[in-house]
Amino acid sequence: MKKLIIVILTLLVVIACDIDNKKDSKPDPIINPGDTPDNPITRIESRQLTIVAWVELLKEIEADGKYVALDLSACARGNQTTGGGLWSDGSFNPDEDLDDNNGQKGKKLIVSLILPETAICIPEPKIVGGSMGFPIYQGFFGAFSALKEVTGINITTLSRGSFSNLGTLYSSDGKITWNRGILTSINFPNVITIGENAFGSCYSLIYANIPKVQIIKQQAFLYCSLQSLNIPDIKYLGVQSLAFRKFAIEFIFGEVAPKIDYSVLYTPISGTTSHSITVKIPQGAAGYGEIPNDYIGGDTSKNWGNAFRGMGWNPDKANMVISSGTDRYDADGFGPINRIFTGISLRIEYIN
């Protein structure tokens, strides 16, 4: 009888503790679609993107207060050639001049963006200041701090600084030292020209689909985190245009070796840290030298491989002074050997 009483009392204690625990525990918070950038609401638009319509759209997004995946692919051109929206000539301008009362806050809730199919370019930015004798240009997408992905199916030209600075940078101890955006993926399948600093300081950018690009200008991908890039139509690469933050990088180039300015791969890290670069080309490609070939730092001869490692080779600039220094391209368009970064190991090989 005593054992039975003990068992019953024990059960009562367990039940009482369980009830108390349920009272103390709180239900998991309900996360609805659009509450976080990882679960945005898809919003598809088909309006004519005039200045007024673009501002109205951004205000609506702000008022909803939800993160959105914004699809503008079916939107039509407006009749304007200035201000925000889609211009009559096919230029898409998000309008950095908007203030918080005119939709600027709505941009901060756009996680992915599909540009209108009738958009063909991002227009040239205006000069908004200067520093040390150099102009400072307006950034178009600076307010899009939650933007992870952007697609422009028929975009052929990206102007200077189009998506620059949309990155987050961490220090060696994991602290955030730069926090302006989280752009990780771009899809511009028909882009031909990418302007200066178009994606500069997009530290989180790891994927780029730009298979038809022919011209990549100065610092276009400076400090990005790409590890591979397939650009078989490339014809010209500007200074620091491919200065990625990764140390093992693979490129796919085309049948004709592109012209390259000096320091294409240079970052402040390059002089002290080894980079492993692989360039893959099709059988029968011309201008790359003897294939396969390794350039591991000891060879300083004037060839395309060493040009890619920093020397540069651009016949269009033969005998011209490099930057503001005294170095020159020679009569064949090769830069001086002191521009070669010996920390870059390069291998050129055929595509299997």
Listing DSSP states for 136-200 in one string gives EEPPSSTT-TT--EEE-TT--EE-TTTTTT--EEE-TTS-EEEES----EEE-TT--EE-TTTTT
Q: Over the chain, what is the mean pLDDT?
A: 87
Asked whether residue 236 is domain-assigned, the answer is no
Residue 67 in contact with residue 34, Cβ under 8 Å? yes
Statement to judge: residues 265 and 142 lie in one domain:
no
- Tell me: pLDDT of 227 over 60: yes
Its domain, for residue 303, covers: 248-352
**Residue 302: φ, ψ to 5°:** -85, 100
**Residue 297: φ, ψ to 5°:** 120, -25
Task: Please give the pLDDT value at position 271.
Answer: 47
Asked whether residue 2 is domain-assigned, the answer is no
Residue 253 in contact with residue 229, Cβ under 8 Å? no
Asked whether residue 12 is domain-assigned, the answer is no
Statement to judge: residues 79 and 214 lie in one domain:
yes
CA distance 349 to 20: 69
Q: How does pLDDT run across 76-102, given as a tens digit for each residue? A: 999 999 999 999 999 999 998 888 888
Asked whether residue 6 is domain-assigned, the answer is no
Statement to judge: residues 193 and 97 lie in one domain:
yes
Task: Please give the pLDDT value at position 182.
Answer: 92
Task: Please give the pLDDT value at position 49.
Answer: 97
Least confident range from 83-97, 117-131, 334-348: namely 117-131
Asked whether residue 9 is domain-assigned, the answer is no
**Residue 164: φ, ψ to 5°:** -65, 150
Q: How does pLDDT run across 30-52, given as a tens digit for each residue? A: 788 898 999 999 999 999 999 99
Q: How does pLDDT run across 144-153, given as a tens digit for each residue? A: 999 999 999 9
Domain count, the chain: 2
For the record, the structure tokens of 105 come out as 């806050």
Which residue in 162, 165, 223 sits closest to 191, CA to CA? 162
Asked whether residue 123 is domain-assigned, the answer is yes
- Read off the pLDDT of each residue in 191-216 and give the average, rounded to a whole number: 96
Sign for the CA dihedral angle at 120, 121, 122, 125 comes to negative
Statement to judge: residues 41 and 104 lie in one domain:
yes
pTM recorded for the entire structure: 0.87
- Read off the pLDDT of each residue in 92-118 and give the average, rounded to a whole number: 94
